[in-house]
Amino acid sequence: MDLSMLNPQQRLAASTLEGPVLILAGAGSGKTRALTYRAANLMDQGVAPWQILCLTFTNKAAREMKQRITALVGEKADDAWISTFHSTCARILRRDIEKLGYGRSFAIYDDEDQNSVVKEILKQQDIDDKFLPPREVRSKISDAKNRLLTADEWFAGSDRDHRCQLIHDVFTAYEKRLKELNALDFDDLLIRTLELFAQHPPVLQSYRERFQYVMVDEYQDTNYAQYMLVKLLTSESRNLCVVGDDDQSIYGWRGADIRNILDFEKDFPETTVIKLEQNYRSSANILDAANQVIAHNERRKDKRLWTDSDQGEPISVYCADTERGEAGWVVSRIKLFHGQGIPYSQMAVLYRVNAQSRVLEEMLMSTAAPKIPYRVFGGTRFYERREIRDIVAYLRVLENPADDMALMRIINVPKRAIGDSTVQELVRHARRQEIPLFSTLAVPPETLSSRPRKCVAEFAGLMAKLLVLKDTMGLTDFVEELLKLTGLQAQYENISAEDAESRLENIREFVGAVHEFEEANPEAKLADYLENVSLVTDVDSLSEDGGYVTLMTMHSAKGLEFDTVFITGMEEGLFPSSRTATDEQRLEEERRLCYVGITRAKRKLCLTRAYQRTIYNTPNHNAASRFLEEIPKRLVKDEAAARDRAFRDLTPARAPQPTAGKTPLRPGDPLSIPGVQKGFAASPARAMAAQAKPQFKVGDRVIHRKFGEGIVTAITGAGLAGRIRIEFIALGEKEFALSLAPIAKLEDDA
C-alpha cells in the first residue's frame, strides 16, 4: 500500500493497525482519507475484508468511504461491512431477531409512525395530548433508550410525579404495541441488538470473532448505546480505531456523550493517540477565528488547526437594524459573489434555529430578477411527502402484514368506500380476537353491513394478488404494477388540482429511485429496499453540484463544506441560545456549534446580526454574540462601517448652539445660517439640493435607509426637480426625488 500521498500524521494513522487507536481529527484535516487508507492497508496486510467493520453516522459518509476503499483495493472491499450504526444493527437483527420474539420482516418506524402510535395510546388511556404532547413523550422515550433504561428504570430516576407516571404508562404501552406491530423505532435498532447480544452470548461471540478490526467515524457523536455496542464487539480483540473531534461534538441534545471521546484513554489505557491538525479546507484567517473561539472551552483535547494556504480574506461582519435588513444584506452579497464567479452551489446560509429561515426565504423570493435559486434543508423530506408515504405504506404492509399503522393509512387510499367507522370496527374486532388488523380483511366481522363487507373483501383480494406478485416480479416491475392496480397513480392523473402534477412527478421519481436501488443491488428484496428508505436522512440527498444556495441549520451542516458561508443571527439569546445562560456544559456545546459553522467555509465567511429581531412573534433587542466578540478584531472587516460612513453626511445639520463667550440670539435677531434665506426655517433637503453637486451616475452602488442596497439605473432632471431610479436587491425598481431620498453612494469595496 502506497502511503506516500498522505501527510506524516495521516500516514501514522493509516499504518498503526493493532490495538486501540484514537485519531483526533480537526475539521478539514483529511480524516476520511486517513480512515479509508487505514482500511485499505489492513486488507493489503492480509486481513480478510469480512473481518473489518467500519461504522459511520450517515449513508452519504458510508457510501463515500466504500467508494474510496474500493478505488484503493478493488472489489474485495465489498466484503467489508461499511455502513451506519443503524444499518449495521438492522442487518444483524434481520438474521437473529426471532430469538427476541420478533419476525425478520419487522418494520422500522420513523418519527411520524412513532407519533401515530403514541397518539393512539394517549387516546386509549384518555390522556389529553395538549397536556402531554406526543413529541414530549417520544423525546423522553428516546432519551431513556439512549441510556439503556426501561420504562420502570426511567421512572425510578425521574421526579416520580403525576406527569412522569403518565409518561411511564405510555412508554410501557408503546413498547408493547411496537412488538405487536412487529416494528422497531430507530433507537430499538441499537437496543434490540444489545439485547440480542446480552441474552444470546453465542451470537455476540460470533460477531466478535468475525470483526477483528472495528473503526468508528465521528466518535464524538456516539451515545451510550453505541458506545456499549462498540465496546462489546472489541472487548477481546482490542483492535478499535475511533476517529473524531471533541470540538465538533454538537449533538448532546439527542443523546451524544462527549465523554466517550474525552475518556477513551481511560477505557483503553494502551491507546495510541494521533492528532490530525493540518487543515486542507479553509484559509488561515478562518482557521484562526475558529481556534480563537473554541479555545474558550475548558472540556476539550488540546489541538490547534493550521494550514499551508494563504491568509485569505478577512471575515466579514455586518450588523443590520432588523432581521430584514440582515436578510437583505445576505441576499445582496450572494448576488455580488455570484457575479464574481462563485457558483450558487458553493454558498450556504446557516442559522441556529429553523425559524430564522422564514425571513431569508421571503427576501430570496422577493428579490429582483435574476432570481437566486435556493433550497432549504430541514423542510419536508422526499420520503415524508403524502403520496410517497402512501406507496411505502402499501409496500410495508405487503412485507409485514402485522404493521397495523401502515394498513390503517392505506386501507381507504385511494378512496374505496371504507370509512372511519368501518376501520374502527375492524380494529375493535382485531383487538377482541388478539390478531393483526390484516387478518380481519379476509373474514370481516359480522357486525359490518353488506356494503362495507363487500368493499373490505375487494381490498383483501387486491392485497392477496399483490402478495403473489411480490414474490414473482422484479422490484421495479412490482412497484409499477402496484401503482396501476391500487390506483395510486391514477388518482392524480384524473384530477386538475394544482399540486397533482407535482405529486405525479414525485411518484415517477420514486419509481426511478427503486430502479436505481435495484440496479445497484440486483439480489435485493423488498425488505432491503424498505430498510434503505427508512434509514435515509435529509442530508443524504444533498447534491454537491446542485445549482442552488443552501439554507440549513448549523447542526445539519456538519460534515459539509462550501466556498462561502453566511452565519446569521450572531446574537446573545439566539446564538448562544438563552437556554445556556446558567448551564456551562450547554454553553460549551453552543461554542462547538459555532466552531463547526465557521469551519464549513473555505474562502469567504460572513457573520451577521441585527440590533432588533422579531422571532416567534416576539421582538428582541440582543447584544452581539459572545462568540463574535471572541474573534480578534485583526481578523474582521466591519461591513456595516461603509453603510454608516455613507449616511454620515445625510444627517441634517442642527442650528448652531450658543457657545461660551458669545451672546445667545434674542427674539427678532436675524438668523445667519449659510444657504438659508432670511425669514424661513432651515430646510436640510433644500439646502442639500441647493449646495449639492452631481454625485450619482447610472451604475453606482447606493444604499437607502429603508430599502437597503441597489444600483442606480436612471437619473432625470436636476436640482429640486431631479429624480433617481434605483434597482434594489430585494424590492426591485423604485424612483425617488433626488433632493429628498435618504440615499448615499457606497464605496466600491463595501
Residue 248 annotated among the catalytic residues of the structure: yes
Catalytic site residue from 10, 31, 138, 247: 31
Q: What SS3 string covers 613-676?
A: EEECCEEEECCECHHHHCCCHHHEEECHHHHHHHHHCCCCCCCCCCCCCCCCCCCCCCCCCCCC
Catalytic site residue from 217, 390, 589, 639: 217
Say how far apart CA 400 and CA 433 lie, in whole Å. 19
For the CA atoms of 157, 158, 164, 168, the dihedral, rounded to the nearest 10 degrees, stands at -20
Residue 60 annotated among the catalytic residues of the structure: no
Say how far apart CA 36 and CA 207 lie, in whole Å. 22
Strand 213-216 and strand 240-244: the pairing is parallel
Cell numbers for 640: 456595516
Catalytic site residue from 138, 600, 609, 626: 600
Count how many residues are written for the chain.
750
Q: What SS3 string covers 160-194?
A: CCHHHHHHHHHHHHHHHHHHHCCEEEHHHHHHHHH
DSSP for residue 525: -
Residue 384 annotated among the catalytic residues of the structure: no
Cell numbers for 121: 395510546
Say how far apart CA 245 and CA 44 lie, in whole Å. 28
Catalytic site residue from 10, 84, 193, 248: 248
- Our measurement of the distance from residue 18's CA atom to the centroid of its chain's CA atoms, rounded to an integer in Å, reads 36
For the CA atoms of 417, 419, 424, 427, the dihedral, rounded to the nearest 10 degrees, stands at 30
> Are the beta carbons of 217 and 243 closer than 8 angstroms?
yes
Strand 732-737 and strand 723-728: the pairing is antiparallel
Q: Would you call the peptide bond into 8 cis, given omega within 30 degrees of 0 as the criterion?
A: no
Residue 84 annotated among the catalytic residues of the structure: no
Say how far apart CA 396 and CA 470 lie, in whole Å. 12
DSSP for residue 443: S
Residue 110 annotated among the catalytic residues of the structure: no
Nearest one of 322, 328, 285 to 609, comparing CA atoms: 322
Residue 218 annotated among the catalytic residues of the structure: yes
Catalytic site residue from 32, 272, 278, 713: 32
Catalytic site residue from 185, 218, 257, 571: 218
Active site residues: 31-32, 217-218, 248, 600
